[in-house]
A and B are shown apart, each in its own frame.
Chain A
Amino acid sequence: MPDRLRAWIAWFAGVLGILILGSGLLLDSVMQWRLHLLAGLWLLSLPARRLIGQSGATAHRSLRGLMLMAVLGFAAIGLQLMRNQVTQSEATLRAVASLAQPVAAEQPQPVFPETDPAERTSLGSGRTFPVAINAGARGRILDRNGIVLAETVDGRRTYPNPALGHLIGFQSRLYGTTGLEARFDAQLSGVATLSPTAILEARLLGSSVEQFPADLTLTLDSRLQEAAQQALGERAGAVALLDVPTGAILAMVTYPRFDPNQLVLPEPATQADVDRVQAAWAELNARSDAPLLNRATQGRYPPGSVIKTLTAAAALDSGVLADPMAPVTCPNLLPTEAGAPPVRNAVDNLFRRTGDPSDLVRVYAFSCNTAFAQIGLLLGADRFLEYARRFGLQTVDTRSGPPDLRDIPAEVGTIANEASFLQRPAALADTAFGQGQALVTPLDMAQLAASVANEGRLMRPYLVAEARAGEQVIYQAQPEPLRQVVSPETSRRMLDIMRTSVEIGYAQPIALPGVSIGAKTGTAETPRGVPHSWIIAVAPVEQPRYAIAVIVEYGGEGSRSALPVARQVLAAALGVTP
C-alpha cells in the first residue's frame, strides 16, 4: 500500500475517533459509552502510531509506545470525568441550588407509586383485627344428677369431690390439663362452639366472636361413687360399675388416689402457692404406690378365675359344650404336656363339691381349674383367642387400635404376649382358668360381665353423657354397641351359671335379700405370694342393670376382699340393705 494512502487512512481514523468520542459524551447508556470510548481511542491511536513510526532503536520505539498508551489512558479518564459532568449535571445543580435553600424550600408534589390494577395480587391495607375470645370462662363438670364435680370460682378451678382426680383430671397452670378436663377441653372452654368462619370474619371485620363454654354431664352417679369409695376404703385396688344396657360408667374408684385441688394454683398466685403445688406434684410422682394411676382403666392385672367366665361363654357359644349341664370332670390334677407341671385346683378333692362327673354350672360355681383347663384345650388356641378378641382382649403382638373407653386414658387388656404362646397346651390350659400371661384392667372385666349380661352385646363404655352450652347440646353420647360377643342364648345360659355360682358356689356371700345376683370370684396369683382378690358380678339377673368388677391388690381370695366391696356397691345401686 502506498505510504500516502496509509497516511490518509491514519488521519481519517483519527478524525473518526474524535467524532465517536464526541457523540458518546451525550449517551445515557454506560455500556455504549464505554464502547464508544474504546473504539474512539483505538482509532486515535492509529495516527499516533504512524507518528511514532517504525524507525529508531527498539528501546526508543517501546518507550514511545508506552508514552502513547499513557496519553491515551489519561485521555480516557479525562473524557470519562467530562462525561460525568454532562450526564450528572442535574444532580450537581440540585446540590448547588440546595445550598441557598436549606429547609424552607417547598416540597415537590407528593408521589404515590401506583401499580397497574391488573397486576395486583392483593388489595387493601391487609390489616387484620385482633380476635378477642374470652378464654377465662370454663364450663362445669356435673354428675348425672347435676351435682357439681368441677367448677371455676374466682378464676380458680376447684374440685368439690377430691376423690375424682383420676377421672376428671385437673387443669393446672403448672402441669397442664389431664383427664376429662383435657379430653373435653374444647367443650369446657367453649372452643367447640366457635365457628371457624366467625373467627375469620372477626379477623377481617373486627366483629365479635361468640364462645359458649359448655357444662359436661357425666354418667357418674355421685351416690354410687361414694358407696364404692367407702366400700374399697384405703386398700389398693379399683372398682368399675357399668350400666349394662348402655355401657355408661356409673362409678369408678381407684385407690391410692390424689386430690386435684392440690395441683391448682389460685389466681393470683404467690411464690408460696407455686412452691406448695410443686411440692405436692413432686410428692405424688415420688410415691411408690402410684396415686396418679387410674387403676380401674390403666392398672393391668392377671385376671385369675374371673376369666373362667370368658372360657365358659366361649365353650357354650361355640358348641364345644352343648349346654351348661354337659358333663365335665374336675380331677385334682390335669397333665397337659410332657415336662409341664399339671394343672391343679386351689383345694384338693374339689370334685366332692362339684360332683363327679360334674357339669359347667358346678365347676364354674366352685371355680374348678382342671375343668376349665380341659374346656380350654377343647376350645383350642384359635377359638379361644377369637372369643378373647370378641371380649376386647388381644395378644400383645396383634394388638391394634385404641382402648374401648375414649373419654379418659385407658389401657387395652391382653390375653397373652404373643398368639403362639397359646399354641402350647399347658399355656392354653393355664390361660383358660386364669393363669398364663393375661393382663386385664378392672374395666375390661366389668365389660366382660356387662356383655354377658347384655344379651351378648359388648357396649362401648363412656363417662360423658353430654356437653351443653346453655340450651344447645353440643355433644351427646349415644350408647354404642361394639360387637355381638356371644349369642343371646349363650348370654342367658351364662347368667344362669353366674346366678348358680352365687346360690351354691364361692360367690355365695354376695347375695342380697330380694335380688338375684350372678357373680364369679377370682384369685390371681402374684409374685409376692399374696394373691389379688377379684370379683365380677351382674344384677339383677332377670333384667341386668349393673355390672361390676372389683380388684383388691394383694387382697387374698376373691371372696374375702373383693366380694364384700362389690356387694356393698350393688346394694347401694339396687337400693337394698345388705
Chain B
Amino acid sequence: MTRSAMGRIWCGAALIVLVMVLAACSEPLVEPRAPRTPTAVIDRYNAIVATAEAGEDLLARARAYYDRGNIWFDQQNYTEAIADYDRALALDPSMSRAFHNRGLAHAMLKEYDAALRDYALAIHLDPDYRRAYENRVRLLEELTARTPDETLLQQLADDYGNLARLIPAAEAPYRYRQGLILARLGDRTAAREAFDAAIRARPQHVDALYERALLHYADGDLNAALADLDTALRLSPRAANAYYVRGLIHRAQGDTRGAIADFGQALILQPAYPEALIARAATYAEQGNITAARADLQRLDDLQLDPPLQQAREALRLRIGGSG
C-alpha cells in the first residue's frame, strides 16, 4: 500500500470522526423548559425577607414572603412555599395571587380540598383571574374524571364559561367544553346553549355541531339533529360516527333506506365499527332482509365487544336467529 493511499484512509477516518463529533454537538445547548432557580437564589430572597421583617411596611413584608414562596414553589418545595404564602396572606389577605399560588402548591401536594378552597378565594378576590380559572379547571377535570361529583362538574362548567368570557379568542373551545360538562350533568338546555355559543363563535366547529345534534336527538327533535349532522358532514365528510348517528336518526324517522345508506357509509370509512354493524343488521332485519342481517352479525362475531355491545349483539341474534 502506498503512502498516499494510507494518507487517504487516515483522512477518511478523521472525516468520519469529525462528522460524529459534529452530530453530537448538534443537540440543543439549552433545554426547552425553563430551568429551576438555582438553590443559591433562596439566600438572596432570605435576605430580602430579613430586610422586610426589620422594616415597618407590612405590605412590603407580605410581598417579600410571597416572592420567596414563589422561589420555594419553583424549587418544588411546596411545604415551604405554602408556609410563606400563609405568612404573606396573614399580612395581606387581598393577595389573590398568593391564594392562587398556594392553591397550586396544595394541588401539587394532592391536597385537593385545600387547593379548591384557595382557588375559590383567589377568584373571589379577582373574578377575572384567568390563570386561577385555568388551574382550577385542570384540577377539576382530573377530579371529575375519577369521581363524577355533580357539584364539581357544575363548578367545572361555570369555569369554562368564565374562561370563554375572559378569552374571547378561545370562546369556541371553552364553550364546547362547557357544553360537554353540562350534557354530562344532564342539563340539556344549558348544554345546548353552550354549544350554540360555540357554534356562533366558530360556525365550522364540527364537534359542537355533532354534540348539539345528539342533544336534539335525545330530545326527540330529529329534524334539528339531522340539520346539525348534515352541516357537520359537509365540513367533515370522513367522520364515520356522524354517519352512524345520522343513520340512527333516519331509522327513528322510519327512513330505513337512508339509515342503511348511512350505516354503510360509516362502515366504509371504519370497517370495524360494531355499533354501525349492529344498527345496520337490526335495520336489515326490520326490512326482512335476514340474509344481510346475518352477514353483519357474522362480522360482529369477529370483533371484540364491550359488555353493552355484547348484549346488543345477543339481542340481535335472538331476533334474527343464527348460531351463537
Residues of A near any B CB (own CB < 8 A)? 30, 34, 37-38, 58, 62, 65, 69, 72-73, 76-77, 80-81, 84-85, 88, 91-92, 94-95, 98-99, 102-104, 106-107, 109-110, 112, 117-128, 130-131, 133, 186, 191-192, 194-197, 199-207
Please give me the 4 A-B residue pairs with the lowest Cβ-Cβ distance, nearest first: A98-B34, A123-B210, A131-B308, A199-B312
Which residue of A76, A92, A119, A199 is within 8 Å of B18 (Cβ)? Answer: A76
Given contacts A73-B18, A88-B29, A191-B311, contact A120 B236 (CB under 8 A): yes
Given contacts A125-B180, A197-B279, contact A73 B308 (CB under 8 A): no
Which residue of B70, B167, B206 is within 8 Å of A103 (Cβ)? Answer: B70
Q: How far is A98 from B240 in the complex, measured between Cα atoms in Å? A: 46
Residues of B within 8 A of A133 (CB): 311
- Closest residue of A by beta carbon distance from B241: A122
Interface pair A121/B238, CB less than 8 Å apart? yes
Q: How far is A81 from B180 in the complex, measured between Cα atoms in Å? A: 50
Interface pair A77/B25, CB less than 8 Å apart? yes
Seed contacts A88-B30, A120-B238, A125-B180; 6 additional CB < 8 Å A-B pairs = A98-B35, A104-B101, A120-B236, A121-B270, A123-B207, A196-B316
- Write the nearest CB–CB distance from A152 to chain B, whole angstroms: 20
Interface pair A58/B3, CB less than 8 Å apart? yes
Residues of B within 8 A of A123 (CB): 206-207, 209-210, 232, 236, 239, 241-242
Interface pair A95/B34, CB less than 8 Å apart? yes
Chain B, 283-324, CB within 8 A of any chain A CB: 283, 308-309, 311-316, 318-319
Interface pair B37/A207, CB less than 8 Å apart? no
Q: How far is A112 from B3 in the complex, measured between Cα atoms in Å? A: 64
Residues of A within 8 A of B186 (CB): 206
Chain B, 16-41, CB within 8 A of any chain A CB: 17-19, 21-23, 25-26, 28-32, 34-35, 37, 41
Residues of B within 8 A of A206 (CB): 186, 218
Interface pair A200/B315, CB less than 8 Å apart? no
Which residue of B25, B232, B270 is within 8 Å of A84 (Cβ)? Answer: B25
Interface pair B315/A195, CB less than 8 Å apart? yes
Interface pair B282/A124, CB less than 8 Å apart? no
Is the C-beta of B237 less than 8 angstroms from some C-beta in chain A?
yes
Interface pair B11/A124, CB less than 8 Å apart? no
- A to B CB contacts below 8 Å, 12 in the list: A65-B7, A84-B25, A88-B29, A112-B170, A112-B173, A118-B237, A120-B236, A125-B180, A197-B283, A203-B275, A205-B214, A205-B217
Which residue of A80, A92, A124, A196 is within 8 Å of B211 (Cβ)? Answer: A124
Q: How far is A206 from B21 in the complex, measured between Cα atoms in Å? A: 61
Is the C-beta of B257 less than 8 angstroms from some C-beta in chain A?
no
Residues of B within 8 A of A62 (CB): 7
Residues of B within 8 A of A91 (CB): 28, 30-32
Is the C-beta of B50 less than 8 angstroms from some C-beta in chain A?
no
Residues of A within 8 A of B104 (CB): 103
Given contacts A103-B74, A117-B204, A118-B238, contact A109 B21 (CB under 8 A): no
Is the C-beta of B235 less than 8 angstroms from some C-beta in chain A?
yes
Interface pair B239/A81, CB less than 8 Å apart? no
Interface pair A118/B28, CB less than 8 Å apart? no
Is the C-beta of B110 less than 8 angstroms from some C-beta in chain A?
no
